[in-house]
Structure 1
């Protein structure tokens, strides 16, 4: 089955956009790990696409004072899925996470 040049072009554009988003998401995780972003900053409602697309567990694990185990424990206690994205959190969930990790 042959693929049309338009289909290949569209696919390349889509792959390029996804790669750019992944790079931007990794940059956000690096900023969290380095301390450039605080927990309250990350938990604020934002239109920043790379931040909103991150899994909550991944963002929390990046904080050196939280770590992988504590991040997962808190999410389990609050009954928030590990696959929940930061952008999909409700305001109440954001507040509960901040309070639990103070």
Structure 2
């Protein structure tokens, strides 16, 4: 593995700010899921890195009424790895998830 090139202090500060903005956006999305303002199908329809790099387990745990235990059961039932990220979901896995959590009004 090659070492990372040294960063200047301004490059480091810029990278930290970018990471912080991404974490804030992810936290905002999870809060919207929890409150019901955002549905799972709407979240999965986004194809950006912010959503793509979220772990599916974390997304499920953010849904109303689903906790740690239920999220684990759902992942097992849907044959989705605990470590799977949204961008790594296959077409069948995504379809099964959307079948369980259809668009709500």
TM-score normalised per structure 2: 0.78
Contact in 1 for aligned 2:60/2:66 (Cα 8 Å):
yes
Alignment of 1:1-102 (within 5 A): 7-44=8-45, 46-100=46-100
Distance in 2, matches of 1:86 and 1:53, equals: 6
- Consecutive unaligned residues of structure 1, counting only runs of 5 or more, are none
Structure 1 runs (4+) greater than 3 angstroms displaced: none
- Consecutive unaligned residues of structure 2, counting only runs of 5 or more, are 1-5
Q: Give the number of the structure whose residues are more often helix, by fraction.
A: 1
Deviation at 1:82, TM superposition (A): 1.8
Deviations 1:15-59 (A, max 9, x none): 111111000000000100110111222233x22332222111111
How many corresponding residue pairs? 97
Distance in 1, matches of 2:42 and 2:91, equals: 13
Deviation at 1:101, TM superposition (A): 5.0
Distance in 2, matches of 1:20 and 1:96, equals: 31
Distance in 2, matches of 1:47 and 1:61, equals: 20
Moved more, 16-25 or 66-75: 66-75
Q: What is the alpha-carbon root mean square deviation over aligned residues?
A: 2.0
